[in-house]
């Protein structure tokens, strides 16, 4: 807000990278690994409520799932900060992707090769918004 005086020194520019992918692909793990601060997230322990709703084939050891969003921070220099936002994996949270994608620099879609099809929702989402994809 121009004209207002803020405390705490100059405000750095923020950039945003979205991390998407299927349920259990490792989005939370990636964000935690890259973030310079302890990655911040809201995780809810999966309960029997999710049995039959969330597909655990191949990731039976998974006991938690992200029901909000994860994020981490990478400071490039004093004036630029990159925020990594991990999207919730389940399709029923896809309404949150739109807001997360707003103004984002780009997106990383993680795919579990045992369950490739799980990543298609996320890939479709970004491709339908005109993103070019690179496969690694």
Partner 1 sequence: MTSQVVVSSVERREVDPELELILSLCVRPVSVAEVASRSGFALGVLRVLLADLLDQGLVVVHTSDWERQRPDARTLRSVLERIREL
Binding site for partner 1 (CB under 8 A): 1, 4-9, 11-16, 34, 40-42, 68-69, 71, 73-74, 76-77, 80, 82-83, 85, 99-100, 102-103, 105
Q: How far is CA 126 from CA 9, 21, 30, 79, 90, in A?
A: 36, 11, 19, 28, 16
Shortest Cβ distance from residue 78 to partner 1 (Å)? 12
Q: Please identify, using beta-carbon distances, which residue of 59 and 69 lies nearer to partner 1.
A: 69
Distance CA 58, CA 36 (A): 30
Query: How far apart are the C-alpha atoms of 21 and 88, rounded to whole Å?
Result: 8
- Residue bearing tokens 């990655």: 39
> Least distance in Å: CB of 21 to partner 1?
18
- Please state the closest distance from residue 61 (CB atom) to partner 1, in A: 26
């Amino acid at each position: 807000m121009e004209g207002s005086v803020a405390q705490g020194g100059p405000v750095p520019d923020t950039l945003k990278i979205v991390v998407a992918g299927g349920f259990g692909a490792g989005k939370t793990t990636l964000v935690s690994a890259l973030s310079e601060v302890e990655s911040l997230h809201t995780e809810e322990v999966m309960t029997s409520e999710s049995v039959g709703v969330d597909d655990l084939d191949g990731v039976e050891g998974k006991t938690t799932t992200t029901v909000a969003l994860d994020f981490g921070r990478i400071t490039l220099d004093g004036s630029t900060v990159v925020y990594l936002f991990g999207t919730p994996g389940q399709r029923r949270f896809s309404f949150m992707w739109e807001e997360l994608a707003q103004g984002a620099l780009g997106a990383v879609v993680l795919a579990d090769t045992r369950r490739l099809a799980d990543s298609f929702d996320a890939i479709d989402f970004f491709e339908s918004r005109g993103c070019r994809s690179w496969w690694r």
